[in-house]
Structure 1
């Protein structure tokens, strides 16, 4: 049975039969190859959409009610479009589509009733942007079904970031939403988060594969120190601004970081941001020149900076990365996403993939007691209608 047929069967089992057609959509997750915590600091990032993701099925109703259900969560919500929607902790995952619905209505989109079914193979709380995928998927489904709200893909990413910032309460940057909306198969995106100018960079890895390594330690951004790190970056920027009128922390020089920030914690946070921004620029240059091994070295340097200066990795991510780097054929590894659990990525020779996953899984379990999952990353297109991704 195909994925589409299986999903439609689950949809019908939950919502019942109808003469109305069922439309299928897919939003990918994303990995960030390098450039962590630079997005909300006005710097560069280098993400790619991946074939793990979330499917959404939608069927029109004849009333003013939107019914939501998640196959993965086993729960849902019934939304009356006549009511103003607010974020409530007890509503859990449904706050994300609720926020998109409210913001699209505020944009003037004339929504109608529909049944919406979500199902995916993207692990939640793993640093692969499941929340951003759910936001973008909801926005794309509703816009496609009920008419254009005037938002192109970039504006849709901006709206979904606004939902996450204001409705959900997470001070995230634009990278995740942008990558999921704008992804391009076999390419990573060099994105300037200050201007949103971007360039697609072919991802040619010279007989190497990207492997996603899931610690299976979930983290919630609102429950982590993510917002605290953002506040620390803002404090560092405020100090540097007293001496030079920069707009974003990524515009600071390393001399300014070392010379103007007297508090050790703020100096460390800013040192990561400024050095990581330069690593993104260097990484793109190296990949364009075919220097894949040198790119792997930048991945390692990025993880060390996130580990010691930004302090967002944690035991599980550090153990995964260290064991990955001990396996012959692995030329680079780093955490990806916000940290505090979630996923890391590794750059591994194709012929060494099986041995790599076996050795790292055993070593990680011996230290942490957890079992890691591994997914060879297939770089995919952004959100789309009718996609089939079985990889």
Structure 2
């Protein structure tokens, strides 16, 4: 477990986005939890070395949408928008009726220093309001089993949070928050305690990063009532600069995919993300319905193959083929058939996309992205008018290989693969066309694959 809270000198200290977030979090922490400069320091104030700063990015998914909760394949990358946690904490012995594990949290996005939320780490239960707190409560609850309960250990901390991942945009602001808080918890618990409820010996950084994602996905499922898959937490925890991750959501293994196979002479396209500024919450409405529909399709396929083919075992839609689906089409409602069709074909598109990216076949990659969007629009029905306008505009512009919705759907962002020389023109075209057709403003940015979560040395 020596790698659990590994500290790295982050090049993002030189990155304006992250540097600004660090300053915001530090300032908020000082305003909220530390005495004024005119007051004498508190005897209990920890030394500077006891302060921890962690960072976890949001993500954009190139292809592989609504497949992670059916044990499928996804192909996301980290972006340069993140959540930073700054604070201090310690593990103590609870000697007073369970009152020792006092934790205080504050966020720049949730009222600042005037809105401090306090809870006891010994008595964690999800709350009705404020809902954003549940993401943090859920993560802390995943780490309390690592404490020595026979010694009555509890964790206590003060934490300030700053983030710039657009909320409700489909860029995984929640996973960014969860993973950054998880990293902070690992710093507070230390290497010897972190993950001790899972392993009794040292593990690799890769395995620890995956277990962190598993914990944070569980936190969101249980405490935020979101039936999300593991993709968002996984890539935020495990992502690597200049790499897209092909994640197998069944085995929980991953493959780092370098665009163009790492060849210097390859003219790599740019990735443009465009936010429709139509908000969504995946814990409400249509998202859980899609999850249930996929489960229904799986059950029908399982029953059918159990009778007709004993050699075929379908544990999830990951195992099904279009032939399987067509053979039992008359046993499904049309809407269930369409949902399963999307997932089955999307998994195949991910495999093809990995090859296209590695070989620098940008036209092929663009076609796959277009097919993915069309499937999400017609078969999975998670797009919306505003997003479709952005996709259609992008596809009509010179130099664009392909464009699609990204994220849970029902709003959020599009992702577009475009020749680098056409990036600026495309972004202006999208902003003008979107305003004209929808009467709304959209925001665009260019991204490459950023680093995943890390502990930042200040």
TM-score range (shorter-chain normalised) is over 0.9
Residue-by-residue CA offset, 1:35-70 (whole Å, 9 max, x unaligned): 001111111111111111111111237963211111
How far did residue 224 of structure 1 move?
Answer: 2.7
Q: Which residue does 1:103 correspond to in 2?
A: 142
Q: Which residue does 1:192 correspond to in 2?
A: 248
Distance in structure 1 (CA, Å) of the matches to 2:279 and 2:146: 34
How far did residue 254 of structure 1 move?
Answer: 0.4
Equivalent in 361, 373, 377 of residue 431 of structure 2:
361
Q: Which residue does 1:15 correspond to in 2?
A: 33
Distance in structure 1 (CA, Å) of the matches to 2:326 and 2:124: 46
Distance in structure 1 (CA, Å) of the matches to 2:259 and 2:29: 36
| Number of aligned positions between the proteins | 387
Q: Give TM-score, length-normalised by structure 2.
A: 0.81
How far did residue 107 of structure 1 move?
Answer: 4.1
Structure-to-structure mapping, 1:232-251, within 5 angstroms: 232-244=293-305, 245-251=313-319
Q: Which residue does 2:177 correspond to in 1?
A: 134
Contact 2:277 2:412 in 1 (8 A): yes
1:87 equivalent to 2:157? Answer no
How far did residue 103 of structure 1 move?
Answer: 2.4
The unaligned stretches of length 5 or more in structure 2 are: 1-15, 36-40, 93-99, 199-207, 261-265, 306-312
Contact 1:236 1:261 in 2 (8 A): no
How far did residue 16 of structure 1 move?
Answer: 2.2
Other structure's SS at 1:352 match:
helix
How far did residue 387 of structure 1 move?
Answer: 7.2
Other structure's SS at 1:190 match:
strand
How far did residue 140 of structure 1 move?
Answer: 1.1
Distance in structure 2 (CA, Å) of the matches to 1:41 and 1:5: 40
Residue-by-residue CA offset, 1:249-284 (whole Å, 9 max, x unaligned): 121110121221232111111110000000000000
How far did residue 6 of structure 1 move?
Answer: 4.7
Distance in structure 2 (CA, Å) of the matches to 1:134 and 1:5: 17
Provide the aligned C-alpha RMSD in A. 1.9
How far did residue 153 of structure 1 move?
Answer: 1.4
| CA 136–5 in structure 1, closer or farther in 2 if over 3 Å, else same | closer
How far did residue 11 of structure 1 move?
Answer: 2.3
Contact 1:100 1:135 in 2 (8 A): yes
Other structure's SS at 1:132 match:
helix
Distance in structure 1 (CA, Å) of the matches to 2:132 and 2:417: 32
Contact 2:82 2:176 in 1 (8 A): yes
Q: Which residue does 1:32 correspond to in 2?
A: 61
Stretch moving more, 379-388 or 126-135 = 379-388
Q: Give TM-score, length-normalised by structure 1.
A: 0.94
Distance in structure 2 (CA, Å) of the matches to 1:11 and 1:70: 9
Other structure's SS at 2:130 match:
helix
| CA 99–321 in structure 1, closer or farther in 2 if over 3 Å, else same | same
Other structure's SS at 1:171 match:
coil
Residue-by-residue CA offset, 1:278-307 (whole Å, 9 max, x unaligned): 000000011121101210111011000000
| CA 207–102 in structure 1, closer or farther in 2 if over 3 Å, else same | closer
1:226 equivalent to 2:287? Answer yes
Equivalent in 222, 233, 241 of residue 177 of structure 1:
233
| CA 292–111 in structure 1, closer or farther in 2 if over 3 Å, else same | farther
Other structure's SS at 1:216 match:
coil
| CA 387–239 in structure 1, closer or farther in 2 if over 3 Å, else same | farther
Q: Which residue does 2:205 correspond to in 1?
A: none
Distance in structure 2 (CA, Å) of the matches to 1:302 and 1:6: 38
Other structure's SS at 2:176 match:
helix
Structure-to-structure mapping, 1:1-391, within 5 angstroms: 3=20, 4-17=22-35, 19-20=45-46, 21=48, 22-60=51-89, 64-74=101-111, 75-82=115-122, 84-108=123-147, 110-147=153-190, 148-150=193-195, 152-204=208-260, 206-244=267-305, 245-262=313-330, 263-386=333-456
Other structure's SS at 1:114 match:
strand
| CA 60–334 in structure 1, closer or farther in 2 if over 3 Å, else same | same
Distance in structure 2 (CA, Å) of the matches to 1:116 and 1:248: 40
Contact 1:26 1:387 in 2 (8 A): no
Distance in structure 1 (CA, Å) of the matches to 2:237 and 2:109: 22
